[in-house]
A and B are shown apart, each in its own frame.
Chain A
Amino acid sequence: MLYFIEQCLNGVQLGLLLFLLAAGLTLVFGIMDLVNLAHGSLYMLGAYFAATFAVWTGSFVLAVILAVVASLIVGMVLEVVAVRRLYDRSHLDHVLGTFGLLLFFNEAVRLIWGPAGMTLALPNEMLTAVQVIPGVYYPIYRLVIILATLAVAGFLYIVVMRTRLGMLIRAGASNREMVGALGINIKLLYTLVFGLGAALAGFAGVMQAPILTVQIGMGENILILAFVVIIIGGIGSIRGALVASVLVGLIDTIGRAFVTDLLRRVLSTNAADTLGPSLSSMSIYMLMAAVLVFRPEGLFPAASR
């Protein structure tokens, strides 16, 4: 039971990280109608920036802040230089163009940081575990991730639902031509939204960096997970992205932790050990396929799409 609670916390933590990626992806898709395969590259860049800045400044917190700012800048420059020209193309051209960007970023990282991975060391005070409920010890850093991502999610909610910028973003998501026709500088809005998405992806990369090795291609698998999230949640819906990301995080983590054990009860140990890991990796894709078969527009379809 205690193990189960711990795994649930891990699942929530993964889910909230996915939400950071998915929120940017779903905003960019919802407003600019852009399929962005390079979103995972921004996640990777965030992690590399954090590892580098940590070495330069010697401070973890400073590294996090600088890395997020750097991701924001890279995102906005990328939008102005390249991505902007893709908006009025078909989804297929988006796939081609952003796939090119993905190749470019992987290679650029190899050129700048070299083919070997990097690690980002945590400050000592984050290495210990705390007792969250009697008997359950949980690493502080993972708690920090949960709290930080929740704070960012709350911040995002306030920005999107309570500010003028957020109003324009929501208006853009439901009818972008009309927003442009009303005299809003839609180009600037697009740049800001893309930059915001990049900063969120970069932040997700930063938070993951101390747990995983920072390496080339680290964004590719998690990008697919983020796509799964926004499809399950319904494209363009931030609320859907939040629900779906926690759902995906929980199912993925709990699947990995328990499916093999459960299978052992019905199958031979050997068969269970073979089947378990595959089945748990597949579980979220099965969830997505099931959701799409029964609700082809996701769980929370945005009204106009």
Chain B
Amino acid sequence: MSAGVDPSLDTAPPWLFTPRVVFTTMIVAVLALLPVYSMLTGNTFTLTLFTRVLILAAAAVSLNLIMGYGGMVSFGHAAYLGIGGYAVGILAKEGIGSGFAQWPVAIAASALYALVVGALSLRTRGVYFIMITLAFAQMIYYVAIGLDRYGGDDGLTIHKRSQFGFIDLSNRTTFYYLCFAVLLGSIYLVARIVNSRFGLVIRGSRSNDRRMRAIGFPTFRYRLVCFVIAGALCGLAGALLANHTNFVSPALMHWTRSGDLIVMVVLGGLGTLFGPLIGAATFLLLEEGLSRLTEYPDLILGPVLLLVAIYLNGGIEGLLEGRRRG
């Protein structure tokens, strides 16, 4: 950010009736009531679309933790979506259908991968960090293409959603609420993290890493732990996504998917709790709406993103706060 003051270090009480709070409350309420609308009208398409919004919003929330609060711009975040998804897909194919096995493996594999990537990448800064995370994501992308047993380039169909005993994930509404719970849980977790002592170190390191180290914090370790938490969260979102589409493929990890996640976070509002949700919803709904209006949706979506980059300070959340660029 070009401004000297770090907006994420604001300490104003967040619960006043600002347009932002009203808007956020409305979104959460709409999301909570959506299955009711879907049941009354029999419109399952909307429910499917919004399930996708919730899942990708959870992924964006995890990216925002490192990018928005930690200043670590990861351009390979889609890799964790892929690892989580492939963990579910591969276990399902090998006959392990229980979610109690699949999901922990998805989370653990993503966390482990994030540990390796973070340990190597966090030595670099700025655009070098952006590119090294991208390089690691590309490696995983090619690994997935090479997995002949699991479909290679064509991807892997998952015939059965994860089994959780009495909870039936093949029920659309149940699955929707599960995704909703995961999303709210992630946002709550991020809120707890960034307001803890740990989170203050992370945010301080984003503002001025050298100063944080000078006053005695081994920031590398803090940042690495933060990076691993974000990877694990995104792996969980990947497991959800695989269950949602019943399909995983290397395309899930193409670098443009990582770009999509960055776009969601920046569009919604970097370093804000609900920004990633707003960004993911705006991006996906805009994409969907435009593709109904015209055969060439990106012809409008592209310039919109450009205009947001040029004119909006802090994305949509920034707009709600009345922040704008001159």
Which residues of chain A have a CB within 8 Å of any CB of chain B? 29, 35, 37, 82, 85-86, 88-97, 99-108, 110-111, 220, 224, 227-228, 231, 235, 274-275, 277-279, 281-282, 285-286, 288-289, 292-293, 296-298
Q: Is the CB of B142 within 8 A of A282?
A: yes
Q: Is the CB of B127 within 8 A of A103?
A: no
Identify which of B124, B138, B303, B304 contacts A292 (C-beta below 8 A): B124
A59 vs B138: C-alpha distance when bound (angstroms)? 39
Q: Is the CB of B135 within 8 A of A288?
A: yes
Chain A residues closer than 8 Å to B131, beta-carbon distance: 227-228, 231, 288, 292
B310 to chain A, nearest CB (A): 5
Identify which of B125, B262, B301, B304 contacts A92 (C-beta below 8 A): B262
Chain A residues closer than 8 Å to B305, beta-carbon distance: 96-97, 99-100, 103
Q: A92-B73, A289-B135, A289-B136 are in contact. Are A107 and B299 (CB under 8 A)?
A: yes
A305 to chain B: closest residue by CB: B126
Against A, the Cβ 8 Å flags (1 = close, 0 = not) of B122-165 are 01111110111011101100110111110000000000000000
Chain B residues closer than 8 Å to A278, beta-carbon distance: 142-143, 145-146
Q: Is the CB of B136 within 8 A of A96?
A: no
The answer to whether B302 has its CB under 8 Å from any CB of chain A is: yes
Chain B contact residues (Cβ within 8 angstroms of A): what range? 35 or more
Q: Is the CB of A101 within 8 A of B134?
A: no
A26 to chain B, nearest CB (A): 11
Against A, the Cβ 8 Å flags (1 = close, 0 = not) of B84-128 are 000000000000000000000000000000000000110111111
Q: Is the CB of B132 within 8 A of A289?
A: yes
The answer to whether B293 has its CB under 8 Å from any CB of chain A is: no
Chain A residues closer than 8 Å to B73, beta-carbon distance: 91-92, 95
A263 to chain B, nearest CB (A): 12
The answer to whether B309 has its CB under 8 Å from any CB of chain A is: yes
Q: A35-B127, A224-B134, A285-B138 are in contact. Are A96 and B309 (CB under 8 A)?
A: yes
Identify which of B134, B146, B148, B302 contacts A100 (C-beta below 8 A): B302
The answer to whether B266 has its CB under 8 Å from any CB of chain A is: yes
B140 to chain A: closest residue by CB: A282
Q: Which of A88, A99, A108 has the most CB of B within 10 A?
A: A99
Q: Is the CB of A296 within 8 A of B124?
A: yes
A94 vs B310: C-alpha distance when bound (angstroms)? 9
A91 to chain B: closest residue by CB: B127
Q: Is the CB of A231 within 8 A of B128?
A: yes
Against A, the Cβ 8 Å flags (1 = close, 0 = not) of B286-315 are 000000000011110111111011100000
A237 to chain B, nearest CB (A): 14
A275 vs B136: C-alpha distance when bound (angstroms)? 17
B77 to chain A, nearest CB (A): 12
The answer to whether B222 has its CB under 8 Å from any CB of chain A is: no
A88 to chain B: closest residue by CB: B2
B262 to chain A, nearest CB (A): 6
Q: Is the CB of B302 within 8 A of A107?
A: yes
Secondary structure of the A contact surface, majority rule: helix
B235 to chain A, nearest CB (A): 21
Q: Is the CB of A86 within 8 A of B309?
A: yes
Known: A97-B308, A285-B136, A292-B131. 7 other contacts (CB 8 A): A91-B130, A92-B67, A92-B266, A95-B130, A95-B262, A99-B305, A100-B306
Q: Which of B67, B136, B266, B306 has the most CB of A within 10 A?
A: B306
Chain B residues closer than 8 Å to A110, beta-carbon distance: 296
Q: Is the CB of A282 within 8 A of B2?
A: no
A280 to chain B: closest residue by CB: B142
Identify which of A100, A281, A285 contacts B301 (C-beta below 8 A): A100
A104 vs B299: C-alpha distance when bound (angstroms)? 5
Q: Which of B1, B120, B131 has the most CB of A within 10 A?
A: B131
Q: Is the CB of B123 within 8 A of A94?
A: no
Q: Is the CB of A296 within 8 A of B123?
A: yes
Against A, the Cβ 8 Å flags (1 = close, 0 = not) of B33-77 are 000000000000000000000000000000000010000010100
For this complex, 15 residue pairs linking A to B, each with C-beta atoms less than 8 Å apart, are A86-B310, A91-B126, A95-B262, A95-B263, A96-B267, A100-B263, A101-B302, A103-B302, A104-B303, A106-B298, A220-B255, A231-B127, A282-B138, A292-B123, A293-B120
Chain B residues closer than 8 Å to A285, beta-carbon distance: 135-136, 138-139, 142
Chain B residues closer than 8 Å to A104, beta-carbon distance: 298-299, 302-303, 306
A293 to chain B: closest residue by CB: B120
Chain B residues closer than 8 Å to A37, beta-carbon distance: 259
Chain A residues closer than 8 Å to B146, beta-carbon distance: 274-275, 277-279, 281
Q: Is the CB of A94 within 8 A of B309?
A: yes
Identify which of A82, A107, A293 contacts B296 (C-beta below 8 A): A107
